[in-house]
Amino acid sequence: MKVLVIGGAGYIGSFTVRALREAGYEIVIFDDLSQGHKEAVKGFQLVKGSLVEDRDLLADLLQKEKFAAVVHFAAFIQMGESYRLPEKYFRNNVVGSLNLLEATIKAGIEKFVFSSSAGVYGDPQRVPIKEEDRKLPTNPYGETKLIIEKMLFWFGKAYGLRSISLRYFNAAGAALDGSIGEDHPDESHLIPLAIKAAQEKRQFSIFGNDYPTADGTCVRDYIHVLDLAQAHLLALKALEEDSQTTAYNVGIGKGYSNLEVVEMIKRIGEVDLPIKFEPRRLGDAAVLYASIEKISKELGFHPKYSDLETIIKTVWNWHKNHPNGFANKK
């Protein structure tokens, strides 16, 4: 079975293409490399192109290769930037996805896995968050993901496209052997930023210490990227078995506070990490963690690598051995 992976050279995509190949799928990657890295997908067929700028290239690829399914990762993901530049996010995430969906339908493909986000929920009414809970994004990034989920629903009604949207909470971690990991051009995620600060012996800022949580800092559900890759594999297999359009949370069902993450980094790295508390960031909810009852029951998803210690150990080793990411190995 041949699968087109959009954004497959990115962080989560590069792990997922490996999981899919190990499961026997033939993979082609379509990526503009604005966020991804060729070095992360050596040995895979890579077509360089943009969903927004290269519609003809995309359409030709889909017609020529006769794919059975599409897995879609390509998106800008920085919440803070999406406030400042909403047009960038709606153009890339929404317009790009519309171009992809139109080409997918024209090619006669009926199976589609979408990389969505817990950002579709906004400030939760309850935790753990369940799939049927209110969707009210608090930033343009989350809004784009919700729009795309709605597009998938209506494309399903109109054209028979069957899709599974996976709503990630906080993707984290690196390869167990340290070979690949997270390397964004403008990193915004807590764990890699804190580890880099610790390794470079710098002070680290935490935004907000007055939240209604046990230690005053935000609480988040962290899921190892290896487990996320397996969730995509399970979703694709479900679509092969005639699953209908639906969405699943992908997390671990509990959260860790920012300070708990920092303490684990200090323990794993045997370092000090001085903290400076900054004002809260606009749009940050106090507590976000998932109910994973649905994906566990329906797809048999059970995280294997998502304990905080394993996450931090793998990220620590990745950054220690690749201080400049893929661009300049130590």
What are 116-128's pLDDT values in tens digits? 999 999 888 899 9
Burial class (CB in 10 A: 0-12, 13-18, 19+), 234: buried
Q: What's the confidence (pLDDT) of residue 124?
A: 87
CATH 3.90.25.10 domain extents, the chain: 173-220+253-321
Query: Domain 173-220+253-321 classified CATH 3.30.930.10?
Result: no
**Global confidence as pTM:** 0.95
What value does the mean pLDDT take over residues 126-154?
A: 96
Q: If one looks up domain 2-171+221-250 in CATH, what number appears?
A: 3.40.50.720
Tell whether the model's pLDDT for residue 159 goes beyond 80. Answer: yes
CATH 3.40.50.720 domain extents, the chain: 2-171+221-250
In angstroms, the Cα distances linking 253 to 129, 197, 213, 220 are 9, 28, 17, 10
Strand pairing report for 256-257 and 219-220? antiparallel
Least confident of 141-155, 242-256, 275-289: 275-289
Angle between helices 258-269 and 308-321 (to 10 degrees): 60
Q: Using pLDDT thresholds of 50, 70 and 90, give the confidence band for residue 88.
A: very high
- Helix, strand, coil abundance in the chain, percent, nearest 5: 40, 20, 40
Could you tell me where the beta strands, DSSP code E, fall in the chain?
A: 2-6, 26-31, 45-48, 69-72, 111-117, 162-168, 170-172, 204-207, 219-220, 222-224, 246-250, 256-257, 275-278, 287-288
| Greater model confidence, 189 or 301 | 301
Tell whether the model's pLDDT for residue 190 goes beyond 70. Answer: yes
Distance of alpha carbon 184 from alpha carbon 11, whole angstroms: 8
Tell whether the model's pLDDT for residue 330 goes beyond 50. Answer: no
Q: Using pLDDT thresholds of 50, 70 and 90, give the confidence band for residue 329.
A: very low
Least confident of 87-96, 155-164, 183-192: 183-192
| Greater model confidence, 184 or 206 | 206
Q: Using pLDDT thresholds of 50, 70 and 90, give the confidence band for residue 284.
A: confident
> What six digits make up the tokens of 321?
């051995």
Tell whether the model's pLDDT for residue 211 goes beyond 90. Answer: yes
36-70, pLDDT tens digit by residue? 999 999 999 999 999 999 999 999 999 999 999 99
Distance of alpha carbon 229 from alpha carbon 19, whole angstroms: 6
Residues labelled catalytic = 141
Q: What's the confidence (pLDDT) of residue 264?
A: 97
Tell whether the model's pLDDT for residue 10 goes beyond 80. Answer: yes
| Greater model confidence, 286 or 61 | 61
What value does the mean pLDDT take over residues 126-132?
A: 95
In angstroms, the Cα distances linking 159 to 109, 230, 248 are 10, 28, 22
Q: Using pLDDT thresholds of 50, 70 and 90, give the confidence band for residue 324.
A: confident
Q: What's the confidence (pLDDT) of residue 328?
A: 54
What value does the mean pLDDT take over residues 274-282?
A: 91
| Greater model confidence, 53 or 287 | 53
